[in-house]
Chains A and B, each alone.
Chain A
Amino acid sequence: MQPKGLSGNFIPGSPFSFAWILLISLREYLGLGEHWQVEPSGIEKNVDEPRNHPLLWVLAIFLLFLSVPFYYPEGRTPTLYYGLPDWCWITLFADTAFACLTSYLVLKTWADPSEKE
């Protein structure tokens, strides 16, 4: 299956076609795009869902990374603030931001077809 506008350039057997297949399969693998007909039938296509917002996923994954102190300079002694070391507060901030973002993804980007009805 080829996206509109590019089908004219598709030459079977050329290196381009192989790259093209990789691209298509990657898109299909990630579940991006609207043109995938999926078995079994009964799936609502063209309905918004969290997977259609890759930037928000990148941000969510970044926040998961931020919850781990890989950025902390080796050998530095942590300073305590209200009983917890400084980097723990960054972790808790990242966790809270992650929870807010995930909640947004659940509530705002997951369209429920039955709600429209």
Chain B
Amino acid sequence: MMEEPLIGGELLIGLGAYLVILLGIGVCGNKARKEKSLSDFYLAGRSFGFAVLFLTLYASQYSGNTFMAFPGKTYRMGIGYIYSVAMMMSIILGYLLFAPRLVPLSRSRGYVTPTDAITDRFPHAGVRTVSALLLCWGLINYVLAQLIAMGKAVDGMLGPWFEARGLNGYLIAVVFLAFMMVVYETLGGMRAVAWTDALQGILLIVGLGLIAFLAVTQFGGIGQSMQTIQSHSPEKFIPPDAAGCRDMLSSIFLLFLGGPMYPHALQRLYASKDVRTLKRSLGTMVFLPLLSTLPVFLLGLVALAQFPGLTAGESDTVTTLLLARMVEVQPAIYLGVLVVFVAAIAAIMSTADSALLSLSSIFTQDLYRPTLKTEPTQHHLYRVGKGVSWVTMGILVWVASDPDFTLWRLLELKFEMLIQVLPAFAIGLYSKRLTSNWLLAGMCSGTLVSIGLYFLAGIGVTGSPKPWNIHAGMWGLLINVSICWLGIVLNSRKS
């Protein structure tokens, strides 16, 4: 007879209790709804105060990547991945390139989606469609990455428990948790998502603190882990060479300029009660990588010392492997592991639901609405938005049921696209001489360069999609902003 796995039923009960709370919040969000409009559904009537705004910004930004992909990347790359702390901080600086102008405008002109702001400045069907597609591309990748992370997290912890019953833990987790997400999201819209984010944000802070503490104390401290790494993987201990440093800087700048283009994060800027609240939230958020990214980096190092020799795919599950090892070594910390596990699921769900909601809003408002001959009612759009959430999630769950990428690969491809929208905000809101045609030419060229570099590397023409260790998206952005500048120069000559 098969032995009962060490981790099992109690963890499922904890997860179940957490999901019941989320559903309750969805129902409360539904009851708190003031009207059936896009603004109320997608921006919660622009009513968020400091606590909710801060926690929703935090929870939607720190995702499955924080719990699963970052320790995995640390495992593969070694100590050099400490640059992830600066990478996550730099996103806040990126907002300062345009947010001080965008936020007051979003209020006075009633923007719901990021594309609303672009279309208001550049009233051109091509600009609207291309920017909406680029943003949707980024969001689809992001939701997909979260679904895969969710499946891997549950499978990593409860895989043996499911296996003992002849079930596929990964698939059950992806399908069931995705279903729960769409239910509470379509019930309560942004209100439900942000309120659940607040709960998930608190869990995330507690969970990350706890996991770092457990990882460091259970396995003899970070110093011992470093010595182990130094002896069995010396290449992961030494600092990176010049090419490695360029790669790191390119990653930092990719997030600095691409991270603020997360549509769900931009919508949270719109949803703030006022500018003061937003400033306080961002001013605090910039310190959080020290409490979030740094602990998971240390976790990755401990995992590297504990489990040498994992493959790239396996390395994405080092968090759950480590949690399982902790329970083996010290069964008394089972409760702590349960909290961390629920926090990891919370981190993933909070990001996925935010991105899904944003995706549904962009599709409804920027891709579906312009195709209608008559102006639809708000109620009609509201219903379409909900339908889009269900259909999109259905398709993505089907895709996620057979994952072949590592999470980090998906993350890279996402920013290659999102970053091409930056000039529309960072230049468009500050220069009247940038015209729609030039912006469109810039965005399309930048996107083609990024995809082209990936494609050339994929078919073996070039060795890597990163010429001179700089990401394809950064080269694309360089072309993109150069074309925008050329447009401004030529328009300056005309006038």
Give the interface of A toward B (CB within 8 A): 1, 18, 21-22, 24-26, 28-31, 36-40, 42-44, 47, 49-51, 60, 63-65, 67-70, 72, 74, 77-78, 80, 82-85, 87-88, 91-92, 94-96, 98-99, 102-103, 105-107, 110, 112-115
Contact = CB atoms under 8 A, between A and B. Distances in A.
B144 to A, nearest CB: 29
Given A31-B427, A31-B431, A68-B245, A43 B104 contact: yes
Given A65-B249, A68-B249, 15 more contacts: A25-B485, A36-B432, A38-B431, A39-B432, A42-B105, A49-B100, A63-B86, A67-B82, A68-B86, A77-B238, A106-B286, A107-B283, A113-B104, A115-B275, A115-B276
Interface of B: 79-80, 82-83, 85-86, 89-90, 92-93, 96-97, 100-101, 104-105, 108-109, 120-121, 221-223, 225-227, 237-242, 245, 248-249, 252-253, 256, 274-276, 279-280, 282-284, 286-287, 289-290, 294, 426-427, 429-433, 484-485, 488-489, 491-493, 495
A42 B287 CA distance: 32
B237 A78 contact: yes
Contact of B89 (A28, A80, A87, A98): A98
Contact of A43 (B105, B221, B286): B105
B239 A72 contact: yes
A21 B96 contact: no
B427 A83 contact: no
Interface of B: prevailing SS: helix
A51 B238 contact: no
A84 to B, nearest CB: 7
14 contacts: A28-B492, A42-B104, A42-B109, A43-B105, A44-B104, A64-B86, A72-B239, A80-B226, A82-B223, A88-B82, A99-B89, A103-B283, A106-B283, A110-B275
A9 to B, nearest CB: 16
Given A43-B105, A110-B96, A67 B83 contact: yes
A102 B286 CA distance: 7
A28 B252 contact: no
A29 B427 contact: yes
A22 to B, nearest CB: 6
Contact of B242 (A24, A28, A64, A70): A70
Contacts of A25: 433, 485, 488-489, 491-492
Nearest to A72: B239
A92 B86 CA distance: 9
B469 to A, nearest CB: 12
